[in-house]
Amino acid sequence: IFQIYARFEFTNLECTSIDEHFGKFDSCYLKSVNRTYKYAAGKYILLQIPVNNAIVKIALMKRLNGYKPFLYNFSFDYCNYMRNTNPGNKVTTFFLSLVLPYSNVNHTCPYSEDLILDKLPISFLNYKLTEILPFPEGEYRVSSSLRVNGLKRAHVNIYFKIF
Ligand SMILES: *[C@@H]1O[C@H](CO)[C@@H](O)[C@H](O)[C@H]1NC(C)=O
Ligand SMILES: *[C@@H]1O[C@H](CO)[C@@H](O)[C@H](O)[C@H]1NC(C)=O
Ligand SMILES: *[C@@H]1O[C@H](CO)[C@@H](O)[C@H](O)[C@H]1NC(C)=O
């Protein structure tokens, strides 16, 4: 019997549209199908298309006594990253590799379709975060934000634990 011991678990997902004229979340949720199949999913509807520039900010926090900055806090030009055929920054590449395979945004600008995160499973993240880049045990939060034309448009917080 081949048993998978998942050490990764989502604990919460929060999606906030900061500018409802620019875009809004049609969905944003975690779902537990059974003990081993759990996923995160969401859909952000773009109301001002096409989108030709996007700055993404990512900060990882670890819960100690409240959430404290942990290892990564960076931002990058998403369109530029996608346009660039050379391997970009390793940290950016790693973070993107966690979600891109389950999204519809692995392509260059412009973005005209709704942004979709399609059933990102814990099994995949368990593999990435415990085997590829082993993370220490603990509770984490990834805060991410999207800035377009210089204005903050949306914010997503992903909470997870490694145990
Ligand atoms: C969990 O659900 C998935 C999808 O429906 C299924 O393929 C898998 O066999 C289920 N696992 C268990 C342990 O029931
Ligand atoms: C990330 O860095 C920016 C400036 O470099 C700072 O303003 C922000 O508070 C930091 N965020 C976290 C979560 O540490
Ligand atoms: C993004 O798409 C390219 C081209 O199809 C593919 O080679 C690459 O592996 C994808 N990246 C991720 C992280 O899924």
Q: Taking the CA atoms of 117, 53, 157 and 64 in sequence, report the sign of the dihedral they define.
A: positive
Residue 3 has pLDDT above 60, yes or no: no
Number of the ligand 1 atom closest to the C-alpha atom of 34 = 1
The confidence score (pLDDT) of residue 85 equals 67
Q: Is the CB of 4 under 6 A from ligand 1?
A: no
Of 99, 110, 118, 104, nearest in space to 28 by CA: 118
Per-residue pLDDT tens digits for 63-72 = 999 999 999 9
Q: How many residues belong to the chain?
A: 163
pLDDT band of residue 77 (cuts 50, 70, 90) is very high
**Alpha-carbon gap, residue 105 to 117, rounded angstroms:** 9
Q: In the chain, helix, strand, coil percent, each to 5?
A: 20, 50, 30
Average pLDDT, the chain: 93
Residue 86 has pLDDT above 90, yes or no: no
The pTM score is 0.92
> Ligand 1 centroid to 33 CA: how many Å?
7
